[in-house]
Structures are given as structure tokens and as C-alpha cells.
Amino acid sequence: MAVRPLIGITTQTLHSIDGIPEGLPPSWMMSDRYIVAVADAGGAPVMIPLLDLDEASLRAVYDRLDGLMIPGGVDMDPHTFGEERSVHLGRTDIARDAVELTLIRWALVDKKPLLGLCRGSQVINVAMGGSLYQDIEAEYPRAIKHDYFPTAGYSRDHLAHPIEIRPGSRLGEILERRDLNVNSMHHQGVKRLAPGLVASATAPDGLIEGLESSNGHFMVGVQWHPEALVDYVHGMRQLFSRFVDAARGK
């Protein structure tokens, strides 16, 4: 039996999520959809604890990984890209910001395969020196609607808008198409694209929906949630399988 590559998936502080009542014990969590998508693609998924104050232990976990996936979640704190908080900012998770930025920067040095989903794509951009819109509607005048949240009555697999994929990009080669419709559950987005990244997909309003490394490193970020679309949209399952293959060394 082939050895499955070990894929680290970052977690989130439970109390950073809207609606979580006070009094619950401090916990780290992550949706099982991300974990199942990696397992179905042939990886061995493991959840990474938010050891922001214990770099030695975090590094010991990281060193055992063959690939790193950064999933969706709450807003990034704008201090990570040199801005003050906007009144439109949602909840943040300082420990998660610190851990994910550290892990991504290690992965950049080691060229460890890296996949970022929604928030994860934004964290990649910030880790490499880019910035974000803290609230797209407030800061990007020609924006279409991007915040189709389940809390507002939309399903997680609701196909909200089309995207256009750049010809010749790694993302285009993986998905085998030039355009598709995607779900959309975010109100932050890439503002200044970091050096070393190229935009591989855009929404109709020009907002970046996909990014990837310019140097051949398997580092792909998408602004949508492919883990919710693997059974419905062509190419979404392939995104996970190609990431796992890269972690396997193929």
C-alpha cells in the first residue's frame, strides 16, 4: 500500500466564531469538510494546533508534514498587513493569524506544497507582503456581491458568480477550463497582490479569485470553497488530488 502524504490543516479558536456562547472551554476546531476532501484525495490529514506561543512544538509538527493546507475562517487582523481596524471588520483570531503566517513562511523557504482556501488564500498573500480589503463592499466601489454566507440563508454550495481563469496558469491546468461558477463566502479579499504571486483567476468585478507562485512552487490559493463543491463542480476534486500528489512528490 502506498504511503499517504501527511497534510497539515490549520485550526481555528472556537471562541473566535460568531454565536459561540461564553463558558465553553478553550478549544481549537475545523470543519470536517476540509479534512474529508484531503482524505478522499489520498492524503493523511492532521489538524494543526494553534501553538502560537510554542514555536518549538509548532516546528516539530511542521517538519513532519508533506503538505500544508490553510482553510477558510474568520477575518485576518489588519495589523498583519500594517493597517488599523475598520469598523466593518468581523471577528479575528490572533493566534491563528500568527501560526498560519509562520507556517506559510516556513513552507516558502522549504517549497513545501501549499493550498489556501478562501481565508487561506488571503493569508498566503499577507505572508508574502500583500494586503487585503478589510471589507470589499466598503472599500471596493465596483464590487459585486461576494458575501453569500450560510448565516444569511445561502447554502455552502450556492454558485454565486463566475470567475475567469488565466490561460497557462497552474490553476487553469488543474481545473482544465477557462471559466466556471463558484461559491462565495467572504467579505475580505486581496487588495495589493504580494511580490512573487500571480493572479490566476478573477471575478467579474476584477477581484482576485485565484493566486499562485510565480517560481514553480506548488502554492495555490482560491477565494472560493472547493471543499463544498467536490461533488458538484468539475475540477474541484482534482484541485485536492493534485495538491496531494505534489505533497507525495509527483
CATH assignment at residue 36:
3.40.50.880
Whether residue 165 lies inside any domain: the answer is yes
Whether residue 1 lies inside any domain: the answer is no
Catalytic residue at 227?
yes
The pLDDT assigned to 250 comes to: 79
| Active-site residue, from 83, 158, 225, 234 | 225
Q: Identify the CA nearest to 52 among candidates 7, 101, 15, 90.
A: 101
Catalytic residue at 225?
yes
| % of the chain beyond a pLDDT of 90 | 93
pLDDT digits (tens, 9 = 90+) for 129-138: 999 999 999 9
Whether residue 210 lies inside any domain: the answer is yes
pLDDT digits (tens, 9 = 90+) for 72-122: 999 999 999 999 999 999 999 999 999 999 999 999 999 999 999 999 999
Count how many domains the chain has: 1
- Local structure of residue 147 (DSSP, 8 states): B
The pLDDT assigned to 1 comes to: 57
pLDDT digits (tens, 9 = 90+) for 180-231: 999 999 999 999 999 999 999 999 999 999 999 999 999 999 999 999 999 9
3-state DSSP call for residue 204?
coil
Q: Domain limits at 179?
A: 6-248
Whether residue 101 lies inside any domain: the answer is yes
Helix count and strand count (H, E) for the chain: 7, 13
Whether residue 120 lies inside any domain: the answer is yes
| Active-site residue, from 55, 79, 118, 161 | 118
Residue 210: which H helix or E strand, with range? strand 208-213
pTM, entire model: 0.96
| Active-site residue, from 100, 209, 212, 227 | 227
Residue 25: band (very low, low, confident or very high) from pLDDT cuts 50, 70, 90: confident
Whether residue 19 lies inside any domain: the answer is yes
User: For strand 208-213 and strand 219-222, is the pairing parallel, antiparallel, or unpaired?
Assistant: antiparallel
